[in-house]
Chain A
């Protein structure tokens, strides 16, 4: 399936579907298996300076058309994550290190360690919607985003991706602030919650979580389209992709590659190969030689 190989965000991908951060990417063995079973790359769980156990369950809720989660950024801390990346890299496919922090200095330290661990690119988590002081709280401040990205681009040799939140009033100002990145990753989850009427309280221990899955696809698609149309930046699309048609819509909206996460829940690991085969078949039918030919063609 050479036709579906892409260059995106400064790296080459044999297949355009990347495992999204936060889903099945804490254990190196899991990332390796998913990469061997059709994913073109894998973004790790977001890693911070210190070990965090995450929130007490319930951390997920099965909603209509998707999942609401508030994992709470569980991670072993950057010092304890090298072995997982090494294991995932046994697949010989790109591993992208996701990092979260509060300050430009911490982002720099984390990025340097990820480079030491041999990742192919770094994804900045500027968008986790459910942990105070991190993620979207950092990523909704254009001045801070600009400083973080500029700082990293000045001294880190591998590509930097910025994963942004849909939970902002003006996506264009944030995307502009992150425009020095090698790619903008859109979108993270949509802030949401669930209430249990028998318990008369929120289900998630953290109360607030993020909605992902099919329900958010139209939102992700709009943000990708808008940022591509208005700013022309390199984009990796993510949000509710579970079939090759979803993926193709993101490509036509302007994405160079795409990420898949929640679909692993109802489709299993085979979702990547199902998408790959569907894309290749569509391209064959329409005599398209390279996925890049279709990038952004829907933009009016």
Chain B
């Protein structure tokens, strides 16, 4: 069912990322996603970067649909359906949030006094929500070395003791997820990944986003360490928009 909500405020987070805030009368758990339609352009899956009464979409501009969303101002309508998918499981104790690029957007609702973040991006201007972590518990990793550790996301993981965390949540492009998975494998089982693939219907019918027979939109997008370790396709192969198999 399509809902129509008005933008209440708009914030520019980085030169290429902005957030649209709105009130939406549906319960959403962190890790779930929505489908957002921009009439005349396309419909895209997005996770919410805020899940209380006031909700938020944090959007990275990468194509005509997301650029069209950047034209939205307070008072304009957002066309939205959902929420869909399985949320992250919630635990007591310390958590580690690992987000690559705009992947930190879907982890943002879980930032609290018990969480530590590992934020990775190409450069410091693309780091998202560093200042929302408490007491400076955000480890930044940049490929160009402009902030924090110079390198890729696994360099950030190597800098922390994973045994102190009740759960580790990971979100980002699949190649990054796979690198994180390989790095963490054997160290702890308490890990959940949010997977992202080309998605069309969002409701478990079209098979575009599937991985090993699981629909990311319905069975996921969150999967635990054991589940991804049993997947043959994860990090290796997927289907493109036509259904053609491609390899990472």
A: residues with CB less than 8 A from B are 23-27, 29-34, 45, 51-54, 56-62, 67, 69, 71, 74-77, 80-81, 83-84, 196, 198-199, 201, 203, 205, 261-262, 264-265, 268
CB contacts (< 8 Å) of A54 on chain B: these are: 200, 241-242
Contact status A33-B207, CB under 8 Å:
no
Q: Are A264 and B205 in contact (CB under 8 A)?
A: yes
Q: Which of B1, B37, B232 is A58 in contact with, Cβ under 8 Å?
A: B37
How many Å from the CB of A100 to the closest CB on chain B?
A: 13
Question: Do A26 and B208 contact each other (CB < 8 Å), given the known contacts A53-B242, A76-B245, A196-B2?
Answer: yes
Q: Which residues from A are CB-within-8-Å of B213?
A: 27, 29-34
Quick check: B239 and A27 within 8 Å, CB to CB? yes
Tell me whether B200 and A59 are in contact (CB under 8 A).
yes
Known: A60-B201, A196-B39. A51 touches B239 (CB 8 A): no
Q: Count contacts on B: residues with CB < 8 A to the other chain.
A: 38
Binding site secondary structure of chain A? loop
Complex: A265 Cα to B42 Cα, angstroms:
22
Residues from chain A with a CB closer than 8 A to the CB of B143 are: none
Task: Out of B201, B210, B242, name the residue touching A51 (CB < 8 Å).
Answer: B242
With A26-B239, A26-B243, A80-B245 already in contact, the answer to whether A60 and B205 are too (CB < 8 A) is yes
Complex contact A74–B79 (CB within 8 A): no
Give bound CA distance, A268 to B203, whole Å. Answer: 10
Taking CB atoms, residues of chain B closer than 8 Å to A69 are: 201, 205-206
Q: How far is the CA of A205 from the CA of B241 in the complex (A)?
A: 16
A62 touches B81 (CB 8 A): yes
Q: Measured between C-beta atoms, what is the minimum distance from A234 to chain B in Å? A: 28
A201 to B2: give the CA distance in the assembly, Å.
13
Instruction: Name which residue of chain B comes closest to A67, CB basis.
Output: B205
Nearest chain B CB to A5 CB, angstrom units: 24
Mask: chain B, 236-248; 1 = CB below 8 Å from A; 0 = not: 0001111111000
Complex Cα gap A140–B239 (Å) = 32
State whether A74 and B210 are in contact (beta carbons under 8 Å apart), knowing that A23-B205, A60-B201, A198-B79 are contacts in the complex: no
Chain B residue with Cβ nearest A37: B213
Task: Find out whether the CB atom of B243 lies under 8 angstroms from the CB atom of A45.
Answer: yes
Residue of B nearest to A59 (CB): B200
List, in ascending order, chain B residues with CB within 8 A of A60's CB: 200-203, 205-206
Within 8 A of A (CB), among B201-248: 201-208, 210-215, 218, 232-233, 239-245
Does the CB pair B233–A71 fall under 8 Å?
A: no
Asked if B26 lies at the interface with its beta carbon under 8 angstroms from chain A, I say: no
Query: Do the beta carbons of A26 and B207 come within 8 Å of each other?
Result: yes
What are the 4 closest A-B residue pairs judged by CB atoms, nearest first? A33-B213, A76-B244, A57-B43, A199-B39
Nearest CB in chain A: distance from B121 CB, A: 28
A27 and B79 contacting across the interface, CB-CB below 8 Å: no
Q: Does B77 contact A (CB under 8 A)?
A: yes
Residue from the list A32, A75, A261 in contact with B242, Cβ < 8 A: A75
Q: Can you list 6 A-B pairs with a CB-CB distance of less than 8 A?
A: A29-B232, A57-B201, A59-B43, A74-B243, A84-B245, A199-B39
- B contact residues around A59 at 8 Å (CB): 43, 200-201, 206
Residue of A nearest to B201 (CB): A60
Given contacts A57-B44, A67-B205, A265-B204, contact A76 B79 (CB under 8 A): no
Q: Is the CB of B81 within 8 A of A56?
A: no
Q: Closest CB-CB distance, A281 to chain B, in whole Å?
A: 27
B200 to chain A, nearest CB (A): 5
In angstroms, Cα B239 to Cα A57, docked, is 17
Q: Output the least CB separation between B41 and chain A (Å).
A: 8
Residues of B within 8 A of A61 (CB): 2
Given A57-B43, A57-B200, A26–B206 Cβ distance below 8 Å? yes
- In the complex, B134 has a CB within 8 A of chain A: no
Chain A, residue nearest B206 (CB)? A71
Q: Which residues of B contact A33 (CB under 8 A)?
A: 212-214
Given the complex of chains A and B, what is the CA–CA distance between A262 and B204 in angstroms?
Answer: 9
**Are A83 and B206 in contact, CB atoms less than 8 angstroms apart?**
no
Contact pattern, B 34-55, Cβ under 8 Å of A = 1, otherwise 0: 0101011011100000000000
Whole-angstrom CA separation of A98 from B2 in the bound complex: 32
Kindly state the separation between the CA atoms of A201 and B37 in the bound complex, as whole angstroms.
12
- Known contacts A27-B213, A58-B37, A198-B4; 5 additional CB pairs below 8 A are A33-B213, A62-B81, A71-B206, A205-B42, A268-B204
